[in-house]
Structure 1
Amino acid sequence: MAPVFLIWAPPYATTSSGIRALYRLCHHLNEAGYPSAMVARRIKRLPKWNIPFHRGGVGDSIVIYPEIVPGNPLAAEKVVRWALNDPGLLGGETTYADEEMVFVYDPQRLEAVSRAVKEPLGPRRVLWMGLIDPDVIYPDPSVPKTIDCSFIYKGRALSERFPLPEGIAIEALEDRTPNMAALGDTLRRTRTLYSYDHYSNVLREAAISGCELRVIGEDGVWHDPRGCSCPKNIWWYDDLLGSYARRYSDSAFTHDFVREVRTRWSVPQAAPPGKLRRFWRRFRPFG
């Protein structure tokens, strides 16, 4: 007996929302009763997350690859391609094989990812979850806002074209945030976050923490991303502050995902928690 899903991922990194999403998906699938495990080059245990790690063959499992992985390195017979960004933008292929089931993370990327497949993708191919941890990201009006920060990440090219505003002491967010706890602490003390990355979950985390937000456009103009129509803007879903904690812990979205996967492959019914624990005790190739 093999896990239902195996999820390929780079080594865990708090700085990448895409990587966090891959590990978090494994957690949610297990919490919902679908045995799942990670395939990663370096193992990092995350105590609060239900994520076993792969130590054996693929077998009959459905393998989930992010869009940055070219081809099918695990030679899996059943492949789900999860496009966390535009195909080919950060690596991987610009088109996907007909045999793959392609999903997108952000509903705003449906059109772009549809160009990488034969048939247009619809809303049932959106696999989205909340990634903002309420234990570390939250507003606290009692904390004085004493610093301004910049954030580059995927915006390196823009940062080389357009300098930060003059006359302001601005610290690099990346230099202050070796982990999620430090990120939350820094954002709560940040007045304004100047971001060269228009498509990052950090923008939502900063908004929740009470920061003013400025992103740079291709025209070199700093502006608030919450009211712009830039094509690379993240999805600002309704009631961000009021719903982010619930979205982070809710695994119910996995059932819609599994329902769509079943249109192509067989997926067992969700197992109750006790049965899932017995499954992992029996399946020794997984830690």
Structure 2
Amino acid sequence: MTKGTRFIIVAPPYNELSAGVKVLHFLCHSLNQAGVNSSMLFLDLRDRSYNSFMSTTDKTAFHESYNTPVITSLEEIDFASDIVVYPDIIRGNPLNSKKVVRYMLNKNGLITGNPIIYDSNDFIVSYQKIFEPNAHFNLFLTDDDLTLIPSRDSIQKLNKNISLTYVGKGGKYGDTVRIGGTISLDWKKSHEEYILLLENAKYLFTWDQMTGVVFDAIIHGCIPVIVSKNPWTFDEINAQELSMPYLTLEEFDNKEKYFDDYVLFLNFRDKIIEDSRLLQSTSRIRVEEFISKSITFFDKKIILGIKTN
């Protein structure tokens, strides 16, 4: 069924600071690991319409251990038979591909402000069910190195005496401020500074709930405090593939839940780590199911197209 099939993953060059970009590169790698030909096509981020592409041999554009060959010329793509995977920042079909997969890495339109109008011929894939409940398939992937996660004992020995404020995508949904008495956590800091801050912080006040920063905070023993739930509901926040322990701002002010019960927080932290291990161990199965379902979807479209001609 997969003989001759090729996937083209459209994505920016690799960026350790972007969870969405990391997922797209890992998807390409996972497809190749599953025995299906897959290549990257890099977006040129200088074009904010996300309709331009680029080629590069710069090593920083790739994950050092992923199998992610790159398209160097659009002439290499067979737009009639290759399956093109677009991330949710791309609204249209700039490549005029006949087989389009929309990989929704966030809720439709939240990143760009311009929702995608799905075509009936598009195969819709959602990273989390809450992003696109009516998707054809859900494909949650993570490649976090769980061997690097600090032990529970090591966390309990840390002197956690600071708090952090993280804005992230929260600035898209309203005014944000640094919470008084906290240090700003932003991507101007080096990765070393980022980890040091999380290791020494007990609370992360976050304006952005759907971010890998929340997961990083939890595994380093830092309790997320949701300052604003916008643009999500708490039902959606609680329905994520990985259930995240957190405090609302009201719970923090009232000294509830994990505020005085750090052991309870660490228990939930242990659970999320275990859940992550389980998801990683089953990722190959989900990738293979994605391959099968997407190919079957487009094959059926071709058959139906022949019947109606």
TM-score class, shorter-chain normalisation, is: 0.7 to 0.9
Residues 5-16 of structure 1 aligned to structure 2 (within 5 Å): 5-16=7-18
Residues 82 and 104, structure 1, Cα contact 8 Å, conserved in 2: yes
CA RMSD of aligned residues (A): 2.9
Rounded Cα–Cα distance in structure 1 between residues aligned with 2:197 and 2:98: 45
Deviation at 1:12, TM superposition (A): 2.1
Q: Deviations over 1:36-94 (max 9, x none)?
A: 11111355121122211112321132110011112111222211111111222222543
1:106 to 110, 128, 148: 128
2:91 to 70, 77, 87: 70
Matched, 1:237 2:242: yes
SS at match of 1:64: strand
Structure 1 residues 230, 175: closer, same or farther in 2, change over 3 A? farther
Deviation at 1:252, TM superposition (A): 2.5
Rounded Cα–Cα distance in structure 2 between residues aligned with 1:190 and 1:5: 42
Partner residue of 1:174? Answer: 187
Structure 1 residues 93, 229: closer, same or farther in 2, change over 3 A? closer
Matched, 1:51 2:68: yes
Q: Deviations over 1:156-183 (max 9, x none)?
A: 156725x3433x242324333x34x654
SS at match of 2:187: helix
Structure 1 residues 158, 68: closer, same or farther in 2, change over 3 A? closer
Higher relative contact order (CA 8 A, sep 6+): 1
Residues 127 and 257, structure 1, Cα contact 8 Å, conserved in 2: yes
Partner residue of 1:273? Answer: none
One-letter identity of the residue aligned with 1:12 = Y
Structure 1 residues 236, 80: closer, same or farther in 2, change over 3 A? closer
1:126 to 126, 133, 138: 138
Matched, 1:191 2:224: no
Deviation at 1:131, TM superposition (A): 4.4
2:297 to 245, 260, 264: 264
Residues 3 and 37, structure 1, Cα contact 8 Å, conserved in 2: no
Rounded Cα–Cα distance in structure 2 between residues aligned with 1:263 and 1:158: 38
TM-score by structure 1 length? 0.74
Rounded Cα–Cα distance in structure 2 between residues aligned with 1:28 and 1:135: 20
Q: Deviations over 1:127-186 (max 9, x none)?
A: 11124332554444244334322211100156725x3433x242324333x34x654444
Matched, 1:165 2:167: no
Partner residue of 1:276? Answer: none
Equivalent residues, number:
245
Structure 1, 136-145 or 252-261: larger mean CA deviation? 136-145
Query: Once the two structures are aligned, what percentage of the paired residues are identical?
Result: 24
Partner residue of 2:253? Answer: none
Rounded Cα–Cα distance in structure 2 between residues aligned with 1:4 and 1:144: 51
One-letter identity of the residue aligned with 1:244 = S
- Where structure 2 has 5 or more consecutive residues not aligned to the other structure, the ranges are 43-53, 244-270, 300-309
Rounded Cα–Cα distance in structure 1 between residues aligned with 2:214 and 2:7: 31
- Higher share in helix: 2
One-letter identity of the residue aligned with 2:202 = R
Q: Deviations over 1:111-130 (max 9, x none)?
A: 3xx4xxxxxx3xx5111112
- Where structure 1 has 5 or more consecutive residues not aligned to the other structure, the ranges are 115-120, 220-224, 267-287
Structure 1, 235-244 or 29-38: larger mean CA deviation? 235-244
Residues 7 and 38, structure 1, Cα contact 8 Å, conserved in 2: yes
Q: Which has the larger radius of gyration?
A: 2
TM-score by structure 2 length? 0.69
Rounded Cα–Cα distance in structure 2 between residues aligned with 1:207 and 1:99: 40
Q: Deviations over 1:176-198 (max 9, x none)?
A: 3x34x654444223221111102
Partner residue of 2:284? Answer: 251
Deviation at 1:218, TM superposition (A): 5.4
Rounded Cα–Cα distance in structure 2 between residues aligned with 1:205 and 1:96: 33
